[in-house]
Amino acid sequence: MTVEEFPVLPEGSPLVPFEIPGGLYATSRHLGAYSGIHRAWMDLVSWMPANGLGPRRSPCFEIYVKGHECTGDESEFITDLYEPAEPLGPDGPAGRR
């Protein structure tokens, strides 16, 4: 979830606030049921190298634009996927040895 300010969490809470770093992200929009999100992630990650991108060490994340709280029709669900990326080549992961 996005918050303007990190909340004070009760002691022993399993939740841990953290900030998602800026930078380049490969993104994709999944339309449909959550059961298809795994395939959408595989398609996004497969698309990256062919488009000059490799993974960057940072958390990936999803934004649930429209889900069950808005509609009972799973075909109307919208989920945005964000995969941290960096250019392949001399300045990216393939160039680091």
Query: For 49-68, what is each residue's pLDDT tens digit?
Result: 999 999 999 999 999 999 98
DSSP assignment of 10-65 equals PTT-S----PPP-S-EEEEEEES-GGGHHHHHHHHHHHHHHTTEEE-SS--EEEEE
**Average per-residue pLDDT for the chain:** 89
The number of folded domains in the chain is 1
What is the extent of the structural domain holding 52?
25-95
Percent of the chain exceeding pLDDT 70 equals 89
Phi-psi region of 82 (alpha: psi -120 to 50; beta: other; left: phi over 0): beta
Mean pLDDT in residue range 24-44? 97
Does some domain include residue 11? no
Does some domain include residue 66? yes
Does some domain include residue 8? no
Mean pLDDT in residue range 9-14? 91
Does some domain include residue 53? yes
Evaluate if residue 72 carries a pLDDT over 60: yes
Evaluate if residue 96 carries a pLDDT over 60: no
Q: Comparing C-alpha atoms, which of 80, 29, 23 is closest to residue 56?
A: 23
- The SS3 of residue 66 is strand
Does some domain include residue 9? no
User: The dihedral of CA 5, 11, 13, 18: what is its sign?
Assistant: positive
Evaluate if residue 1 carries a pLDDT over 70: no
Does some domain include residue 18? no
Which residue would you say has higher pLDDT here, 42 or 6? 42
Does some domain include residue 39? yes
